[in-house]
Amino acid sequence: MGQFVLETFFRIFGIRGHVPRYDGLPERPARSSLTDNSIPVTRILVIIAAVVAALLVVLWVAVWFAIKSL
């Protein structure tokens, strides 16, 4: 009954041709566009983390040498 009411509504307002059918829909992409856009951001974050880690190690070694030299 609900399908009949929906069909009648579409016919009255003339929007039947605007409803896409399953055959008319384009095929969905395999991956979302978010994963394609997040790869450069991830690389930048990894590079920043590596630089910060290297600077922390250098700072730790400098403090260690300063304490040893006293």
Question: Distance between CA atoms of 52 and 45, rounded to whole angstroms?
Answer: 11
The pLDDT value recorded for residue 39 is 76
Is position 13 within any domain? no
Q: Is residue 16 domain-resident?
A: no
Q: Considering the entire predicted model, what is its pTM?
A: 0.48
Residue 45 included in any domain:
yes
| Banded model confidence at residue 59, pLDDT cuts 50, 70, 90 | very high
pLDDT digits (tens, 9 = 90+) for 5-20: 777 777 776 665 555 5
Give the residue from 30, 48, 46 showing the smallest Cα distance to 38.
46
Range of the domain at 56: 40-70
> Is 61 domain-assigned?
yes
**SS3 letters for the chain?**
CHHHHHHHHHHHHCCHHHCCCCCCCCCCCCCCHHHHHHHHHHHHHHHHHHHHHHHHHHHHHHHHHHHHHC
Residue 33 domain-assigned? no
Number of structural domains found in the chain = 1
